[in-house]
A = this chain, B = another copy of it.
Amino acid sequence: MRDVAIIGVGQTEVGEHWDVSLRHLALGALQAAMTDAGVAQTDALYVGNMLAGELTGQEHLGALVADFAGLRGVEAFKVEAACGSGAAALRLGYVAVAGGLANIVVVVGVEKMTDTLGPDTTSALAMAADADYEAAQGISFVALNALLMRRYMHEHGYAHHDFAPFAVNAHRNGSHNPYAMFQFPVSADRFAQAPMICDPINLLDSSPICDGAAAVVLAPAEAARAFSAAPVRITASAVGTDTLAIHDRRDPLVLDGAVLSTQRAYEQASVGPQEIDLFELHDAFSIMAALSLEAAGFAERGQGLRVALDGEIELGGRVPITTMGGLKARGHPVGATGVYQIVEVVQQLRGLAGSNQIPNARVGMAQNIGGSGATVITHILERME
């Protein structure tokens, strides 16, 4: 096994791109990343995507993107793990390079959620949950998260407005990210008055439905300097899974998959929570941000929200999260999100995060979650000195 580095990153602006097709989104991110890395060829291309079949009538994205990007002939597959598809594709790219089966791998995460055919997007997103035992009851994905949030408030004695810091922090950071869907701040008052989506989840608890693509290029760390002046080492790539249906879990308020995934990652990278300079967590809903902070060891059970209330999630805090806007403000094109998170950690470690820069960021963690915690993929990245 050899060390793996990220030698190039690329992203497209997240938003409702009614006039841009899935293949053009993917191409934009891929070309930006390959240009950044200075490579014209790749040994393999892994595409993270969840819903292209359901929403745009197109499967077979590996061959599609390879073809459209002029990489015809190359090994190319689509990887799917619901909203964790992006990091799943990265994980498999990492495996190929770490094991010596490939030298250069391009990983693209892409999702096209506007201008769709077939089922509505809410129905499609419910395919991340258990079709037979959750979705079949008529429960949507946001409803599952609403049940978790309500239980969290009940058990730990929080009010809804206590969740405001997650949206406020994400939007403050997103307002300085030119790739973010929502480049404006929101106040705690505006959070409190946001329209209800699925009680107690309101509009500002929720990440948006949107389009986007992000990409990274991987290479062996020992060769990375030949491509990039600022390569970033992947010091951990770990996966943990849990039951697909929430009702099968020993404790619905503990993301066991995230606990497992994070522990494995800490062990691989020989670090603990105290070494993490920034944490790009999976804030698809604000309740998931709270639960993720707890599962990753930044707070005890029930205290994840306290971390936010104490301001510790902000850029200057103990554990800065969603530093470029997160799923909430940068946007959550589901299969692309895991790759956006990686691109943003790389920006921070390269010192290119602009006014959102974490001073002297050295170690960053990204965690991408599929479903309500059923697949959790954690990567730890470190600046190569």
* A21 interface hit (Cβ, 8 Å): yes
* A375 interface hit (Cβ, 8 Å): yes
Q: List A33-66 residues whose CB lies under 8 Å from chain B.
A: 44, 50-51, 53-54, 56-64, 66
Do B375 and A60 touch across chains, with their CB atoms under 8 A apart? yes
Do B100 and A66 touch across chains, with their CB atoms under 8 A apart? no
Report the nearest B residue to A132, measured CB to CB. Answer: B21
Do A260 and B127 touch across chains, with their CB atoms under 8 A apart? no
Do A82 and B59 touch across chains, with their CB atoms under 8 A apart? yes
Q: List A247-275 residues whose CB lies under 8 Å from chain B.
A: 248, 256-257, 260
Do B67 and A1 touch across chains, with their CB atoms under 8 A apart? no
* A240 interface hit (Cβ, 8 Å): yes
Q: Please measure, in the bound complex, the distance between the C-alpha atom of A243 and the C-alpha atom of B63, giving whole angstroms.
A: 7
Known: A1-B99, A79-B78, A99-B100. A130 touches B59 (CB 8 A): no
Do A53 and B51 touch across chains, with their CB atoms under 8 A apart? yes
Report the nearest B residue to A45, measured CB to CB. Answer: B241
Do A241 and B63 touch across chains, with their CB atoms under 8 A apart? yes
* A72 interface hit (Cβ, 8 Å): yes
Across-interface contacts of A99 in B (CB, < 8 A): 1, 95-96, 98-101
Across-interface contacts of A118 in B (CB, < 8 A): 54, 118-119
SS class of chain A's interface: helix, strand, loop or mixed? mixed
**A125 to B: closest C-beta gap in Å:** 9
Q: Please measure, in the bound complex, the distance between the C-alpha atom of A248 and the C-alpha atom of B95, giving whole angstroms.
A: 32
> How many copies of this kind of chain does the complex include?
2
Known: A77-B81, A96-B99. A131 touches B58 (CB 8 A): yes
Convert A129-173 into 0s and 1s, putting 1 for each residue whose CB lies closer than 8 angstroms to a CB of B: 111100100000000000000000000000000000000000000
Across-interface contacts of A61 in B (CB, < 8 A): 80
Across-interface contacts of A119 in B (CB, < 8 A): 118
Residues of chain A having any CB pair with chain B under 8 Å: 1, 21, 23, 44, 50-51, 53-54, 56-64, 66-67, 72-82, 88, 91-92, 95-96, 98-101, 118-119, 123-124, 126-132, 135, 239-245, 248, 256-257, 260, 370-371, 374-375
**Could you give 23 example pairs across A and B, Cβ below 8 Å?**
A1-B99, A54-B118, A57-B126, A58-B131, A59-B128, A60-B127, A60-B244, A60-B374, A62-B80, A62-B81, A63-B82, A63-B241, A63-B242, A63-B375, A64-B130, A67-B245, A75-B91, A76-B81, A76-B375, A77-B91, A78-B81, A79-B79, A95-B96
For the complex of A and B, list the 6 residue pairs with the smallest distance between their C-beta atoms, beginning with the closest: A99-B99, A58-B131, A75-B239, A63-B374, A59-B127, A60-B82
A1-B99, A62-B88, A73-B241 are known; give 7 further A-B pairs, CB within 8 A.
A58-B127, A58-B131, A59-B82, A60-B82, A63-B244, A67-B374, A95-B101
